[in-house]
Amino acid sequence: MAERTYVIGEYSYTAEEFRALTPDQQVELMVEWFGERYEDPAQRTPYNSREGGYLWIHGGPYDADEEVQSEFSDVAEFEVMQRAVEEITSDGLYEWAPVASDDDYYDDREYEEPDRPEDAAEPEDLRGELLTRLDRLEAALHAYGQNLAPRNHNHPPELVEDDLITPEQLAEAQEAVDILRAEAAKDEPESQILQTQATILSRIGSAIWSGVKVLAGGVAGSAAWEAIVWVHNNPKEVHDPMMAVAETASQWSHQLSGWF
């Protein structure tokens, strides 16, 4: 029986070689391995705003902890694997999609550039749509922030749960809004900036949705939102416009870079 190898980047490691690495080296390689195989679902996974979740047509959602342990439990200590998982999820993203593979798009090895869809939005349409959605998101962020329980006085009230959207997340989302608004004002916006900010907003939105599901006891879809409205400011009022902005910014980015 052939000895198992671990292919990461341009190198492959036997089990013995991987075990001989320092914990820091193992963590670095496990993070690299995960990044080669899994991606933020905002990159290409369709999103259903009515149900509040992604449509995992390419597989998933994948959990970093499960995937790392499944691959490396024979060659790495549990504590080392947990360090890798913490680094992978440090941005608050916990549900992952697989990276693109040839099988996702065509059956044989010959790739043909897809035609631009007849109903694809024109650049100016996407610009206008993005600006409209940015207005809605900015208003939602402001409203949610205004209703957060105060925490800077001597006797803060007892909260049933922590806020599903933290002040830090609100600030990060607002920064993304400002950057996207600035790009939309340019004659020639940069596709990479649009996609980067779309990914940031998608990550925050995914973290909100994950928190909702945990608080609602794993209930899916609209029922999960309904289960937490009585406890919190309604995070759905932020989540949905946030994901809508991420979708439009990503679509515009893809168009600018020639994806369709």
What average pLDDT does range 198-203 have in this prediction? 86
Using the predicted structure, report yes or no on whether residue 243 has a pLDDT greater than 50. Answer: yes
Position 100 scores a pLDDT of 83
- Interatomic CA distance for residues 255 and 116, integer angstroms: 9
The per-residue pLDDT for range 130-188, each reduced to its tens digit, is 999 999 999 989 888 877 655 544 444 444 445 678 888 899 999 999 999 999 999 88
Query: What's the pTM value of the predicted model, to 2 decimals?
Result: 0.56
Q: What is the mean pLDDT of the chain?
A: 78
- Interatomic CA distance for residues 166 and 172, integer angstroms: 10
| Token pair 């998982």: residue | 85
Record the tokens describing residue 259, joined without a space: 């994806």
> 121 with 251: CB under 8 angstroms?
yes
> 195 with 251: CB under 8 angstroms?
no
Across 139-153, 217-231, 244-258, least confident range: 217-231
Nearest-5° angle of CA 44, CA 6, CA 109?
A: 45
Q: Which of 75, 133, 113 lies closest to 250 in space, CA to CA?
A: 133
Using the predicted structure, report yes or no on whether residue 192 has a pLDDT greater than 80. Answer: yes
Give the CA count within 13 Å in the CB-facing half-sphere of 8.
21
Position 110 scores a pLDDT of 40
Record the tokens describing residue 129, joined without a space: 């749509």
